[in-house]
Amino acid sequence: DAKTTQPTSMDCAEGRAANLPCNHSTISGNEYVYWYRQIHSQGPQYIIHGLKNNETNEMASLIITEDRKSSTLILPHATLRDTAVYYCIANYFSGGYQKVTFGTGTKLQVIP
C-alpha cells in the first residue's frame, strides 16, 4: 500500500482557495487517490477521488500530477465550515475489496 505524506497543518483565509498538497510517490498504477475530511468529533466524510485525470465535483477539485506522485485538493472558496482534518489516501482495490490506510492528515484552519 502506498504511503501518503501531508503537511500537519495549514491556514486559509475565508473566501480564498485552500490548496492542500499530498505526496504519494510510491503509488501503484491501480491505486486511486481519495480525499476524506473529518470535522471535529464526527466520522470522516468522502470528498473526491481520482486515478489519473483531474476531477471536480460540487465540493472540491482534485489535481493529480502526470507522474501521479502527488496531488492537490482545492477548495475553491473556503468557509469556516471547511475547518477540518483532511486525509489523502491511496486506495488499493483487489478482488472487489478496497484497502485504505489513513495517515494523520492535514488540519486546515479557515480564518475569518
Partner 1 sequence: EAEVAQSPRYKITEKSQAVAFWCDPISGHATLYWYRQILGQGPELLVQFQDESVVDDSQLPKDRFSAERLKGVDSTLKIQPAELGDSAMYLCASTSGNNEQFFGPGTRLTVL
The reply on whether position 3 binds partner 1 by CB under 8 A is: no
The reply on whether position 29 binds partner 1 by CB under 8 A is: no
User: Cβ closer to partner 1: 97 or 112?
Assistant: 97
Q: What share of the chain is helix, strand, coil (3-state, %, to 5)?
A: 5, 50, 45
Q: Report 38-97 residues binding partner 1 (CB under 8 A).
A: 41-46, 49, 85, 87, 93, 96-97
Interface with partner 1: number of residues (CB under 8 A): 22
User: Cβ closer to partner 1: 65 or 101?
Assistant: 101
Cβ atoms within 10 Å of 108's Cβ, excluding its own: 21
CA distances (Å), 112 to each of 75, 76, 79, 81, in order?
A: 16, 16, 8, 11
Residues 81 and 90: their CA atoms lie apart, in Å, by: 25
Instruction: Provide the binding-site residues for partner 1, judged by CB under 8 A.
Output: 34, 36, 41-46, 49, 85, 87, 93, 96-105
